[in-house]
Amino acid sequence: MENNAFYVALSLLLNLDASLFQIVALSLQISLLAVLIAAVLGFPLGAAVAIWRFPGRGGMIVALNALMGLPPVVAGLMVYLLLSRAGPLGEWGLLFTPGAMIFAQVVLVLPILAALSRQKVEELLGEYREQFVSLGMSHSRMMPTLLWDARFALLTVLLAGFGRASAEVGAVMMVGGNIDGVTRVMTTSIVLETGKGNLPLALGLGIVLLTLVMLINAGAYLVGELTRRRVG
Amino acid sequence: MTAFQVPRLASSILSPSPELCFKDVSFSHEDKVLLGPCSFTLKGAGPTLVMGPNGAGKSLLLRLSHGLLLPTQGQITWSGEIRPRQAMVFQQPVLLRRSAVANLIHALAVNNVPRRERVKLAHDALERFGLTACCNTPARVLSGGEQQRLTLARAWVLSPQVLFLDEPTSALDPAAIKAVEAAVHEFHQRGTRIVMTTHDLHQAKRLAGDILFLSGGKVREHSPAEAFFEKPVSREAQAYMAGELVE
Amino acid sequence: MKKTLNLLLAGVASMGLAFAACAEDYITLASTTSTENSGLFASILPKFEDTTGIQVRVVAVGTGQAFEIARRGDADSLLVHDTAGEKRFVENGFATERADVMYNDFVLIGPANDPANIRQAQSAEEAFAAIAKAEAPFASRGDDSGTNRAELRHWKNAGVDPDGDWYRELGSGMGPTLNTAAAMDAYVMSDRATWVAFGNRQNLTLLFEGDKVLFNQYGSLLMSEEKHPHLKHDLAQQWHNWLISEDGQQAIADFKVDGQQLFFPNAK
């Protein structure tokens, strides 16, 4: 019975284990904050690429799309070298702190949010363009209108970003260091427990993580669907 | 007309109608001439009804006039020193994914109407077009007729000196058509210069001050409405009228 | 819309505070997975923290990566097991002082049916040679960790150049290497601590132990103030001193898994 991952997951959840709670809370904080920061930067960037025509725009779109597949360890290594004392941002003293993990996840999630929002906004702009020009709107004035009107599509984009952030382990392991009680999150715990050969516990943690991500997705989906149905 | 407060924007509406002048204008796409070359001047009070068979270039002419497209050759100019305020109502209403009133408030906001005036202007316009009950309804779940009335209300709050309408009633039922025509009439009464395309002869008869007749991308005739309907001068218009009547 | 925004901002602010709250007195210690995974740190760190109020944040990686982290100035202190490498680190001026802290030992693990018959070996040298002769699958860390470096030394002593299908370099930590070895019934060299705490043994069992050359010495290093003035040298010095003090040594001796002592203090 104790070797069954579902049993382990259930008892982890039911016992409200304090260290598990801390790990879950940290995971959520880091990933949500990273997605939030990436959205604040990525959505306007995506919308700008959708709206403006400039030299190198095609290359930029290709780059953003390609960066969606950036391997987490590569992002982790880049951020590690940036934040290391010997690196250009070493002064910040962020390495092996939650801040570094947020930094790395922003790097991973930003291209996803920018590339997908560019696509969604461009679709919407196709529909709205004549009306916008008729209303005499400048390009920069179009941006907030488009971002707001694409809000349901962007919610899905946000979820895609959150999925990537909460699921990755390579980057947060490298820049966070998996320090017990400080930078240990769900995914790094799973790696650690796998390393110790505690496979049921590792899988149990995996089930907890999956359940959480599913709950968040379901919640967002429900909110999105309800409002979408209202707004049409 | 009830006691309607002419918004600040509309103060100059009663000045003489702006005149639109096409000079040797043509529009091509991929080496194919779709419109022109054509030259004409829209004078007088209108409304001008642009008529002609499908593919004659009516929508193109409207988009060029409104500035949504740039002519390949020739010049389009307005009388007066500044470009007149204008709005356009499309065949398919383009509405934002927000409530009816929010659509109007957005249009006012992008035209720099002070924040405190927006809500009142929006509600007045909704009332004028019989949309008060739908004020908070998402614009895109309104019926086709309501949506078109909402785009007219949006044009209304902007107090345009010129209003372009591109087949605004082609997808509507008779009751909704009547409401749109009443709205067009109200714009005209307020002094807005109307330029509208239609393929409905009866609608043209009900609304037109003058007729601009197009076929094959060329302007074939530009006459006062009465004269046009009594006896069109151009061979193309004669054929068109005959074809319509035969049906 | 404004309400949502305010709520979001409040959330962000509170998260920021939560992170800031962790910023008490602490040092970052780069160390090895064997010490972390066995539970040694979980046992001794609270004792150190109680005495000094200093939190020790352990980044557990392979010895090679631990050296790299320290070389770049990203760790205040270093506790690893590669005596030769540690001495070079001091010679190169990255560390000012090195001290023996404790040792554990390496053990040879393999499938219970022992195809290379290393149970009968009289020495580590013999055991390694037997595995190579039988060409029995051997899982190597292959990650330039302390364990990996030690393993390569043993092959050399046995006069074997490990090469061929049977020798599998995994490039993983100790735990994942044990997992893989269990899955392919391979021989593997592990530190005793990780082995004792390891939960997924399947058909693997301990086959050879006890040769003195398998002893695995851990050393603590003090970083150079000259190379990295920004590090918390005072706090790191306290940690270093505590490890080799009577209290620290006792704490290490007191750590047991299933009644078995895994690390043996031997500070001079």
pLDDT score of A232: 61
Q: Collect all residues of chain C within an 8 Å Cβ-Cβ radius of residue A182.
A: 22, 57
Looking at the structure of chain C, the number of domains it has is: 2
Compute the mean pLDDT over every residue in chain B, rounded to the nearest whole number. 86
Name the CATH superfamily housing domain A5-231: MetI-like (1.10.3720.10)
The boundaries of the domain holding residue B149 are 87-159
Cβ contact C136:C110 at 8 Å? yes
Which among B159, B181, B214 is the end of a domain? Answer: B159
Chain A nearest-CA distance from B243, in A, is 33
**A29 torsion bin: left (phi>0), alpha (psi -120 to 50), beta (else):** alpha
Q: List Cβ neighbours of B235 (8 Å cut-off, separation of 6 or more).
A: none
Based on the domain organization, do B71 and B173 belong to the same domain? yes
Query: Whole-angstrom Cα distance, residue C128 to residue B142?
Result: 81
Which residue has tokens 């995914």?
Answer: A187
How many Cβ pairs within 8 Å bridge chains A and B?
45
Residue B3 lies in a domain: no
**Domain end position, chosen among C195, C214, C233:** C214
Confidence of residue B245 (pLDDT cuts 50, 70, 90): very low
Q: Please return the burial class of A225, using the count of CB atoms within 10 Å of its CB with bins 0-12, 13-18 and 19+.
A: exposed
Which chains pack against C, by 3+ Cβ pairs within 8 A? Answer: A
Do B58 and B79 lie in one domain? The reply is yes
ipTM here: 0.86
Helix (H) or strand (E) holding B213: strand B210-215
Same domain, B222 and B122: no
Q: What is the mean pLDDT of residues B7-32?
A: 72
* Residue after which a domain boundary falls, among B139, B159, B179: B159
> According to the model, what pLDDT value does residue A174 have?
92
Rounded distance between C-alpha atoms, residue A80 and residue C74, angstroms: 10
Q: Is residue B6 part of a domain?
A: no
Domain boundary among B134, B159, B184: B159
A123: contact with B, CB 8 A cutoff: no
- Over its length of 232 residues, how does chain A's per-residue pLDDT go in tens digits? 556 777 777 787 777 777 788 898 999 999 999 999 999 999 999 999 999 999 999 999 999 999 999 999 999 999 999 999 889 998 888 999 999 999 999 999 999 999 999 999 999 999 999 999 999 999 999 999 999 999 988 998 999 999 999 999 999 999 999 998 899 999 999 998 888 888 888 888 888 888 888 998 898 888 888 877 776 6
Pick among A43, A196, A198, A231 to test the C interface (most C CBs inside 10 A):
A196
Is B169 in the same domain as B239?
A: yes
Q: Do residues B139 and B182 both lie within one domain?
A: no
Domain termination residue (choose one: C214, C232, C251)? C214
Would you list which residues of chain A are within 8 Å, Cβ to Cβ, of chain C?
29, 33, 36, 84-87, 90, 93, 95-99, 177-180, 182, 192, 194-199
Mark whether C113 and C193 lie in a shared domain.
yes
Interhelix angle A199-231/A5-14, nearest 10 degrees: 70
**pLDDT over 90 percentage in chain B:** 45
Closest of C117, C80, C88, C29 to residue C191, by C-alpha: C80
Q: Using the predicted structure, report yes or no on whether residue B138 has a pLDDT greater than 80.
A: yes
**What is the 3 state secondary structure string of chain A?**
CCCCHHHHHHHHHHCCCHHHHHHHHHHHHHHHHHHHHHHHHHHHHHHHHHHCCCCCHHHHHHHHHHHCCCCHHHHHHHHHHHHCCCCCCHHHCCCCCHHHHHHHHHHHHHHHHHHHHHHHHHHHHHHHHHHHHHCCCCHHHHHHHHHHHCHHHHHHHHHHHHHHHHHCCHHHHHHHCCCCCCCCCHHHHHHHHHHCCCHHHHHHHHHHHHHHHHHHHHHHHHHHHHHHHHHC
Same domain, yes or no, for B61 and B128?
A: no
pLDDT, tens digit, 9 for 90 and up, residues B104-134 = 999 999 998 999 999 999 999 999 999 999 9
Q: For residue B50, is pLDDT > 50?
A: yes
Average pLDDT over residues C207-212: 92
Q: Regarding predicted confidence, which is higher, B55 or C49? A: C49
Are A36 and C12 inside 8 Å of each other by CB? Answer: yes
Give the residue-averaged pLDDT of C200-213.
92
Same domain, B93 and B172: no
User: Rounded to the nearest 5°, which phi and psi values hold at B68?
Assistant: -75, -25
Q: Which residues of C touch A177 (CB under 8 A)?
A: 28, 57, 59-61
**Cα of A35 to nearest chain B Cα, Å:** 25
Distances from the Cα of B49 to the Cαs of B33, B155, B181, in angstroms?
Answer: 23, 18, 12
Q: What is the pLDDT of residue C268?
A: 84
The span from the CA of A229 to the CA of C155, in Å, is: 69
| Cβ atoms within 10 Å, residue C192 | 22
Question: Looking at the structure, do residues B222 and B109 belong to the same domain, yes or no?
Answer: no
Q: What is the pLDDT of residue B216?
A: 85
DSSP line for C33-88? HHHHHHTHHHHHHHHHHHHH--EEEEEEE-HHHHHHHHHTT--SEEEES-HHHHHH
Same domain, B170 and B153: no
Nearest residue, CB atoms, B111 vs list A136, A145, A230: A136
Residues of A in contact with C227 (CB under 8 A): none
CB-CB contact of A183 with A138 (8 Å)? no
* Per-residue pLDDT tens over the stretch C124-169: 999 999 999 999 999 999 988 889 999 999 999 999 999 889 999 9
For residue C165, what is the domain's CATH number? Answer: 3.40.190.10
Residue B218 pLDDT more than 90? no
| pLDDT tens, residue by residue, C11-21 | 555 555 455 44
Query: Are B84 and B78 contacting, i.e. CB atoms less than 8 angstroms apart?
Result: yes
Domain interval for residue C152: 105-214
Residue A2 has phi, psi (to 5 degrees) of -70, -15
pLDDT of residue A229: 76
Do B173 and B239 fall into the same domain?
yes
Say whether A128 and B96 touch across the interface (CB within 8 A): yes
Where along chain A do its domains lie? 5-231
Taking alpha carbons only, the member of B183, B208, B182 closest to residue B196 is B208
The answer to whether residue B115 sits within a structural domain is: yes
Smallest Cα distance from A127 to chain B, Å: 8
One domain, residues B120 and B234:
no
Q: Which range has the worst mean pLDDT, A154-163, B33-42, B218-227, C3-12?
A: C3-12
Question: Same structural domain for residues B180 and B242?
Answer: yes
Residue C182 has a pLDDT of 93
Number of structural domains in chain B: 2
Within-domain flag for B5: no
Under an 8 A CB cutoff, do A177 and C57 touch?
yes
Residue C189 contacts residue C168 (beta carbons within 8 Å): no
Question: Could you write out the three-class secondary structure of C125-154?
Answer: HHHHHHHHHHCCCEEECCCCCHHHHHHHHH
**Smallest Cα distance from C161 to chain A, Å:** 28
Pairing of strands C26-32, C55-61: parallel
